[in-house]
């Protein structure tokens, strides 16, 4: 089966290697702080925002995407003001630090120094595109010296 660049992305992660693939697809994901939600009873952390779809070389496109992490025990934030839900964050990477196997910490690192840490029983995550693709206004750029 071939996959077209217009096909919606659907990814799952059950280990650190899988999480690296999700991180690569979510680099430059933009999300409002109000669209980051921890549901402690369900042990779920969920988010929705716009990702850069880099599957077509030479084109900068975006797609609406959502994801969630399950088996989340605790969420910690640094440099995020939860009282301002319309602040837009730009995701740089998602990293995993192993604790006693299979538990550990999943860390979302955003430009400007903001970070979000999920203490998880294990890695169990999904990300999926929600709708059509559109042309982005600009290509994301990063200061390589930062």
pLDDT, one tens digit per residue, over 73-83 is 999 999 998 88
pTM confidence score: 0.89
The span from the CA of 13 to the CA of 119, in Å, is: 16
Decide if pLDDT at 17 tops 60: yes
The span from the CA of 104 to the CA of 101, in Å, is: 7
User: Sorting pLDDT into bands at 50, 70 and 90, what band is 136?
Assistant: confident
Bridge-based pairing of strands 125-135 and 30-32 is unpaired
pLDDT tens by residue, 40-49? 999 999 999 9
Annotate the chain with three-state secondary structure: CCCCCCCCCEEEECCHHHHHHHHHHHCCCEEEHHHEEEEHHHCEEEEEEEEEECCCCCCCEEEEEEEEEECEEEEEEECCCCCCCCCEEEEEEEEEEECCCCCEEEEEEEHHHCEEEEEECCCCEEEEEEEEEEECCCCCCCCCCC
pLDDT at 132: 87
pLDDT at 4: 58
pLDDT at 56: 73
Give the rounded distance of the alpha carbon of 7 from its chain centre: 19
The span from the CA of 89 to the CA of 65, in Å, is: 15
Query: What tokens appear for 40 in the block?
Result: 């402690």
Q: Give the Å distances, CA to CA, from 138 to 60, 62, 84, 97.
A: 7, 10, 25, 33
Give percent above pLDDT 90 in the chain. 77
């Amino acid at each position: 089966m071939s996959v077209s660049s217009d096909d919606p992305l659907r990814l799952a992660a059950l280990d650190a290697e899988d999480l690296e693939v999700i991180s690569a697809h979510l680099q430059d994901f933009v999300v409002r702080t109000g669209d980051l939600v921890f549901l402690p009873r369900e042990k779920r952390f969920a988010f929705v925002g716009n990702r850069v779809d880099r599957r077509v070389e030479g084109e900068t496109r975006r797609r609406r995407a959502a994801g969630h992490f399950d088996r989340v025990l605790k969420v910690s934030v640094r440099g995020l003001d939860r009282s301002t839900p319309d602040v837009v964050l730009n995701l740089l990477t998602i990293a995993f630090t192993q604790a006693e196997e299979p538990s550990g910490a999943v860390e979302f690192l955003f430009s400007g120094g903001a970070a979000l840490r999920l203490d998880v029983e294990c890695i169990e995550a999904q990300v999926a595109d929600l709708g059509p693709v559109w042309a982005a206004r600009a290509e994301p750029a990063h200061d390589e010296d930062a």
